Each structure stands twice: as C-alpha cells, then as structure tokens.
Amino acid sequence: MKTKIKKNNIVIKFAGDSGDGIQLIGYQFTYNAAFNKTKAVNFPEFPSEIRAPRGTVAGVSSFQIHFGDENVLSVGDEFDVLVVMNAAAFKSSIKNLKKGGIIIANTDGFDNKNLKLAGYNSNPLEKGAYQDYKIFEVPIETLTLEALKDSPLTKPDKERCKNMFVLGFVSWLFGFKPENTDEFIKTKFSKKTEILEANLKALWAGYHYGNTSESIAFQYEVPEAKMETGKYRGIMGNHAIALGLVVASQKCGLPLVYCSYPITPASDILKFLSSYLNFGIKTFQAEDEIAAMCAAIGAAYGGALSVTGTSGPGLALKVESMNLAVMLELPVVIINVQRGGPSTGLPTKTEQSDLLFSLYGRPGDSFIPILAASTPSDCFYMAYEACRIALEFMTPVILLSDSYIANGAEAWKYPSVNDLPTLTNTIVNKMDNYQPYKRNENLARYWAIPGNPYTIHRIGGLEKNPETGNVSYFPEDHQKMTELRKRKIENIVHTIPKQTIDTGENTGDVLIIGWGSTYSIIKEVTNELINEGKKVSHTHLKYLYPLPENLGEIIKGFKKVIIPEMNTGQLIKVIREKYLIDAIGFNRVQGIPIKHFELKDFILNQLSLIS
C-alpha cells in the first residue's frame, strides 16, 4: 500500500531534449490536472535555436506546471518535482528544485555521450552532491522499448513513445486517471493504428510501473479547487485569441479575414484560425509582414472583420502601413504577441517590452488604442473587445499579449454568447450626400464598401479635407483632422469599464499597478501580503490607451505606487507623465516571469520606508 502525501499545491517541471515530446507531456498533464478539478497554470519554454544540438543545454525544452487548490495563481518560483530526460535537462533545471524535492531521472539519458554533451565529467546523480533530494532513477527508454517489444515500429519510433511512459508514470504519482490521455491518444493517432497502439502501451506501462515499483512508496494527493460551477475546458492564450476573433465575426455578421506572416510566438493564432474554416474564416499567410498588414487593410476596406498578428520585430515592419490604416480610419485589429528583444532577441522567451513602441512608435501624431490581455483565458475577451472598439470607432487597435500567456494554458469557463457585448459597425449602404469623413457621435466616420454606387468616395494616405476626403494641404485642415483623430480615440474611454481594485482595499500604503501577464504573480503576492496584515492593493490595467478615466482617483488613495513590469520601465513612464506621481518600478528582463520572492521582498522593503 503506497503512502499518501497530501499537498495543497504542487509545482512540477518536465525537462528534456527538444525532440523528447516535453511540450506534449506538459499540456496533456495540465489538462489532466484540470480534469481532476484542480486549478493549473503552466509555463512552457523552448530552445531559441530551430535545431539546437541534441543533448546540449541549449537544446533543452521544458514545461513547468503549478496545480492544486484555488490559491494557485502563478507558475511558482521553485518546483517540488523535477522530471529530467537527460543530463543537460538536469543541469539547466536543478538550481530551481526545492530542497527535499524529488528528482525523477531517465538514467538512459545520463550515459557517457549525454554527460559529455552536457559538460559533465562524471554522473552528477552519483556524486552525492544532491543528497538533500529524493532521487528516483528510472531507465525510461529501456522500459519503453521493453513494453513495445512486440510492436512492428522501428526502434527510433518506439523511443519516441517514451514521453507517454513518463506521462503515465506521473499520472499515477499524482492520482490522475490516465483515461483522459488515453482518449487524447486515440484521437490524435486515429489514422495511424500502429503508432496509436504503441503510445497507449507506453502510457499504461508507465502508469503500472509507478503502481508496482518498490522504489517509490508514496503518491501525492492534491485537493480539488473551489471553482465556480459551469462547463470548463483547458485553453492556451493563442487559441483563446483565435476563438475570440471567431465569436466576434459571428456576432457582428462580418467575415473574418486573418492576414499574417509566421513569427514566434504568434504563429499558432494563424494555425488555430485555419481550423475554423467552417465558420467562414479566411486565413492568408503573406510573404512578409508588410504584405500581411497591407492585405489586412484591403480586407477592412472590403468590409471584413480584419485582423493581423505578429510579434515585436514584425510590428516594426508593419508601422508604415499601420499609419495608413490610421489615415484611412479603417477597423483593423493588430495582435502583438510580445517576446524578448531587441532585434531577433529571445524569440521563444517572454517580455513586455513593446508598450512604448505600440504607443509612440509611428511617425506623426498617430493615435491607436492599446489593449492588453492578462491571462490565457482573458485573451478571448480582449480579442473580442479589440474587435468591438475597432468596429465601433473605425480605427486600428493594438492588442498586446506575450509569449508567457500565449503558450500558457489554464481552465476556462465557457462564456454565454448572450453575455458578450453587442458588436456594431458604421457600414452604410445608402446615405444622402455621403462624405467619407462625415462622423457620428463617437467621431467615427461611416464605413462604405467599394462597389456601392450610393457611397462612391476617395480616401488615401495624404491628409484630407475634414469631410470630403479630398486631398488638402491647408494648415487648418491638418490641425482639425489631427485633433479629430485624437479625440475619437479619447472618446473610447466612455465605453470601457471603470478601473477597479482587483485585490485589497480602495486606500492603503501601497498600490501595485500591473498590466499584461504580470497579473497572476502580482495577485498572488498581494494576497499573501494582505494575509500578513499589510495595507497593499492591486489594480490591473487592460486598457492602456486611453487609460480608464478614474485611474487617477484610485491612485490618490495610496501613499506609494509600485509598477512591476517585464521590461526596464515602460508603463511607469506613462503613469508618471499623466498623473505626475513618483511611481516606483520593479523591472525584470530575463525572458521568464517575475519571481514571487523577488517581488514580495521588494514590496516589503518599500513598505518599511513608509513613515
């Protein structure tokens, strides 16, 4: 009988070579945790190189998951369990394993060749340096091959099933039923019978190994999370954006056209949308970023719900055409899934460093509303909201995500379509004396589709007469048009929610202002400090331009303002300028999420300075 170890929450990390199927293990384990009614958040990491050398630290792929009760918010600073497929994975991850934690090591990945590739002169598992940990050495590849000895697959194909052995084993370790993965395998390999059977055998071999192995005498028991009743599914941030766009298209009755050039970490949005062709979705993979932006403008001019997606380097290439969309006043949603920069930077790592570029990185006085998603599931709602604003105000809109939430996954409660805001647009089929820059109460111009004899008009990139759209070089016209475009975007503030305190009281010693994917770690730290009797609160911004009209009033209720960001200080510049306060920045640019202990220590230090 195995001993049951009860834990409110667990952090586990899988690490191995980029060809070991680590990401598949991680996502499937996350979904299994959700199926078992625990709350789960994750953090996948990939090598930046397309084909990093196998067995090297540069080639390590990893997946960290924090799951448990309702208090699970961030991915965790350290992990309780480390599963490594080779010596390089061990070397890159061991420093963040908690003292007394568990190491499950694939001993087949610690042979002389793998040790040499990882830079070890001897096997670290045998040196006694890690006696503070519980080490379980499991010959995963050998056991997988033994389980598949009757399979007709080649040896390399059999070895590729070792990730399912691992998934079966850890499913047993945490009391998860493997049936959910069983169904996943049957669906994924439904047309490849031999591969399907091999993966199923490997999965159950790993599960039974845990159950029968005498070396592992315990199982973890994690309680269910208290969650709002409803129907849930696991969802990634990029997939949530895609679904938000699909639903927006259905609600507004316009065809969705998504124009994109593949770029990490935004490429999956294009992939996900291409699977919804039955909803009339049209996806266009352009030859470059400039073509993608221009195609999106063309789609908007033709009356489509038009969207383009990219990451930082691609956003830079889109700038000139984005300004054309500003001048034309056409609704185009521009999704920027941020990554580490500058230049190619850290293509597979996370950062929040494109805010100032999104606000100001265009020539001329160019005004575009900026939104930001805060969690994987929030990506759905903010993609939908970006479509609402674009259609209602006839403007391009930038939606900021980042690699952390784009590739992360969490349980998402299905929304009711009836609860989503109504989407309206300014399309006109017939209007007496139609003028392309005649405006409604929002200062949005009316949208005319080419080919309509009642709304013949001319627009372009040159400055216009404020109503006719005729090219104008009069100074007064440029002044008026610039002010109209600015006031139109500022009018958006009247249609967005008032800012609220997410956690804590409306007054206190410290207000923590966050945006984007820092939401979870800020909320987690704030909850902990409040439980310790500290007067701290947290508010999170989803609307970055224009800012909510009551944010200034909220700020006045606190002695200090701290702004944590995964950049060198961008939102803080905006807040300081607008509200004339000496906000304090907490900044990290390491390609990984902000750590709990670092942020907490920083806030405690600032609290100690308040007299």
Q: What is the CATH number of the domain that holds 303?
A: 3.40.50.970
* 276 and 190 together in one domain: no
**Residue 374 three-state SS:** coil
* 178 and 270 together in one domain: no
Question: In the 8-state DSSP scheme, what is residue 531?
Answer: H
Q: Which domain holds residue 533?
A: 508-608
Q: Which of 193, 221, 249 is the last residue of a domain?
A: 221
Position 329 pLDDT exceeds 80: yes
Query: What average pLDDT score do residues 92-102 get?
Result: 94
Q: Which of 403, 419, 435 is the last residue of a domain?
A: 419
For residue 513, how many other CB atoms are within 10 A of its CB?
A: 25
* 244 and 266 together in one domain: yes
* 216 and 237 together in one domain: no
Cα–Cα distance list, 196 to 4, 146, 153, 186 (Å): 32, 17, 11, 6
Asked if residue 256 lies in contact with residue 241, where contact means CB atoms within 8 angstroms, the answer is no
The upper half-sphere exposure of residue 205, i.e. CA atoms within 13 Å in the direction of its Cβ, equals 24
Whose structure tokens read 């300081």? 576
* 214 and 194 together in one domain: yes
Query: What average pLDDT score do residues 258-271 get?
Result: 96
CA angle, corner 391, sides to 390 and 392, nearest 5?
95
* Listed range (232-236, 289-293, 373-377) with the worst mean pLDDT: 232-236
Position 567 pLDDT exceeds 80: yes
DSSP 459-510: --SS-B-TTT--B---HHHHHHHHHHHHHHHHGGGGGSPPP--SBS-SSEEE
pLDDT at 434: 92
Question: Which residues, at least 6 apart from 108, have a Cβ–Cβ distance to it below 8 Å?
Answer: 139, 140, 141, 142
Domain CATH for 156: 3.40.920.10
Residue among 424, 410, 354 at smallest CA distance from 379: 410
Q: Which of 368, 401, 419 is the last residue of a domain?
A: 419
For the record, the structure tokens of 508 come out as 């206190």
For residue 150, how many other CB atoms are within 10 A of its CB?
A: 8
Position 84 pLDDT exceeds 80: yes
- H/E stretch holding 598 reads helix 596-608
Position 267 pLDDT exceeds 80: yes
Query: What average pLDDT score do residues 295-305 get?
Result: 97
Asked, for residue 492, whether it belongs to a domain, the answer is no
Question: Which residues, at least 6 apart from 267, have a Cβ–Cβ distance to it below 8 Å?
Answer: 260
Asked, for residue 227, whether it belongs to a domain, the answer is no
pLDDT at 1: 66
* 520 and 596 together in one domain: yes
* Listed range (242-246, 451-455, 564-568, 602-606) with the worst mean pLDDT: 451-455
Residue among 263, 264, 258, 254 at smallest CA distance from 241: 258
Helices marked H in 61-192 — which ranges?
A: 87-93, 112-118, 140-147, 155-159, 162-173, 179-188
Q: Is the peptide bond before 223 cis (omega within 30 degrees of 0)?
A: no
* 237 and 217 together in one domain: no
**pLDDT tens digits along 6-53:** 999 999 999 999 889 999 999 999 988 888 888 999 999 988 777 778
pTM above 0.75, yes or no: yes
Asked, for residue 249, whether it belongs to a domain, the answer is yes
Domain CATH for 602: 3.40.50.920
**pLDDT tens digits along 153-185:** 999 999 999 999 999 999 999 999 888 888 888
* 415 and 300 together in one domain: yes
Helices marked H in 1-66 — which ranges?
A: 22-35
* 211 and 94 together in one domain: yes
Asked if residue 63 lies in contact with residue 45, where contact means CB atoms within 8 angstroms, the answer is yes
Asked, for residue 44, whether it belongs to a domain, the answer is yes
Asked, for residue 425, whether it belongs to a domain, the answer is no
* 245 and 275 together in one domain: yes
pLDDT at 83: 97
Query: What average pLDDT score do residues 491-496 get?
Result: 97
The upper half-sphere exposure of residue 605, i.e. CA atoms within 13 Å in the direction of its Cβ, equals 10
Whose structure tokens read 């384990």? 29
Position 130 pLDDT exceeds 90: no
Which of the pair, 516 or 36, is modelled with greater confidence?
516
Q: What's the gap between Cα 568 and its chain centre?
A: 20
Helices marked H in 36-110 — which ranges?
A: 87-93
Asked, for residue 22, whether it belongs to a domain, the answer is yes
Asked, for residue 441, whether it belongs to a domain, the answer is no
Position 258 pLDDT exceeds 70: yes
For residue 19, how many other CB atoms are within 10 A of its CB?
A: 15
Asked, for residue 357, whether it belongs to a domain, the answer is yes
**Residue 396 three-state SS:** coil
* 527 and 553 together in one domain: yes
Domain tally, the chain: 3
Q: What is the mean pLDDT of the chain?
A: 94
* 259 and 174 together in one domain: no
